[in-house]
Amino acid sequence: MPRLPAPPGHVPADVPGLHAAVLSWYAEHARDLPWRRPGTDAWGVLVSEVMLQQTPVVRVEPAWRAWTARWPRPADLADADPAEVLRAWDRLGYPRRALRLQACARELVARHAGEVPQTTEELLALPGVGPYTAAAVIAFAHRGRAVVLDTNVRRVLGRVVQGVALPAPSLTRAEHTLAAELLPADPERSVRWNVGVMELGALVCRARAPRCPSCPVLDRCAWTLAGRPPDEHAGRRRTQPWHGTDRQARGRVLAELRATEGTVDGARLRRAATLSASGDPHQPARALASLLSDGLVEEHAPDRFRLPRSGEGYCPA
């Protein structure tokens, strides 16, 4: 994620033809995503990257169009009503991202003259911006050289170079080193490499059902050459539970509030948060309380709740 100056004498890892194959495949097969279009500014790219954190492209696309049309610049979002921001976020999931994006917009206005900064340090200091998003903004918004390591890139490099079905549960130093070594020295080429590998992971080298016959690097894929061995970490990956969890309960509460103008009775929210799959009697109250402390819900009057209004802004504990 550092905006790596091309190291003097930088030599890409020795995977013959890999770059050329990916770049030419991308030139042919890239999706026409709205945030990739030439007119998109850095703010538009940043918005897309935050929306894309754990949310599939197909669901982000319409939300991004509406969002950027309504709040085209950071200053516009900074001035918006948080309740409207949460409604516009719709059901992208993880609604804290919406509040963080607004907090980010306010930071940009307050400390960056309303512009998206260009350094890793400044980007990482923004709410909701972590290592992936900072690198992605440098690469795709500023056309700079950065190590973009998302779940797609990790999977592609894991297979093609390391010969494993799926990467380890958490990012390793070795993966970062490998990605940095593979990054082309030329900035513009590095940008196309980054987006090309990501796109390859999304369209061909997919987690579930890889489309190997369509793969431009099939003949040099270490995983395929090894006979596509199964996932070493199979069974060790714990999938996140959903039914009966606080997250499901919180989701119910927010859905109720999103659909309602004005305030909602606490009893109604706790009823919405009552899950048949959960035997925990105080889960509804706990869900509501946690939403309050996250700033996603506001208590307007005793036991009367609503989506947050402009005023305090986003102030998590």
Residue 305: DSSP 8-state: E
Owner of token pair 């607004």: 102
Query: Closer to DNA at the Cβ: 6 or 66?
Result: 66
What x/- string results for residues 245 through 284 when contact with DNA is judged by CB under 7 A?
Answer: xxxx-xxx-xx-----------------------------
Selected binder of DNA within 39, 208, 282, 311 (CB under 7 A): 208
Binding-site member from 4, 43, 49, 157 for DNA (CB under 7 A): 49
Q: Are 215 and 205 in contact (CB under 8 A)?
A: yes
**184 phi/psi in degrees, rounded to 5:** -60, 150
Segment lying near DNA (by CB under 7 A), choices 11-19, 105-113, 211-219, 236-244: 236-244
What's the longest Cα–Cα distance across the chain? 67
Inter-CA distances, 310 with 84, 85, 156, 227, 291, Å: 10, 11, 43, 57, 17
CA separation for the pair 281, 269 (Å, rounded): 14
- Please name which of 215, 201, 46 lies closest in space to residue 139, comparing C-alpha atoms: 46
Which of 6, 7, 17, 91 binds DNA (CB under 7 A)? It is 91
> Which of 70, 143, 206, 228 is close enough to bind DNA by CB under 7 A?
206
Q: Which range in 11-19, 29-37, 212-220, 260-268 contacts DNA by CB under 7 A? A: 29-37
| Cβ distance to DNA smaller for residue 100 or 192 | 100
- The only residue of 129, 147, 257, 264 in contact with DNA, by rule CB under 7 A: 129
Distance between CA 72 and CA 80 in Å, rounded? Answer: 12
Give the nearest distance from C-beta 79 to DNA in angstroms: 22
Q: Is residue 63 near DNA by the rule CB under 7 A?
A: no
For DNA, the closer CB: 151 or 162? 151
Residue 170 C-beta: closest distance to DNA, Å:
6
Q: How many CB atoms sit inside 10 A of residue 41's CB? A: 14
Residues 140-179: x where in contact with DNA by CB under 7 A, - otherwise, as a string: ----------xxx--x----------x---x---------
Q: Which two tokens stand for residue 22?
A: 């990916």
- Helix or strand (DSSP H, E) at 197: helix 187-203
Q: Name the token pair of 158.
A: 């894991």
The minimum distance between CB 26 and DNA, in angstroms, equals: 11
Four-residue CA torsion sign, 261, 265, 270, 276: negative
Do the beta carbons of residue 167 and residue 179 sit within 8 Å?
no
Binding mask 173-202 vs DNA (x if CB under 7 A, - otherwise)?
-------------------------xx-xx
Give me the catalytic one of 28, 49, 199, 261.
49
User: Residues 266, 300: contact at Cβ < 8 Å?
Assistant: no
Q: Is 49 a catalytic residue?
A: yes
Q: Supply the minimum distance, in Å, between the C-beta of residue 87 and DNA.
A: 11
8 Å CB contact between 163 and 222: yes
DSSP state, residue 190 = H
> Which residues contact DNA (rule: CB under 7 A)?
33, 35-36, 48-49, 52-57, 59, 91-96, 100, 124, 127-134, 136, 150-152, 155, 166, 170, 198-199, 201-202, 206-209, 237-240, 242, 245-248, 250-252, 254-255, 290, 296, 316
Catalytic residue set: 49
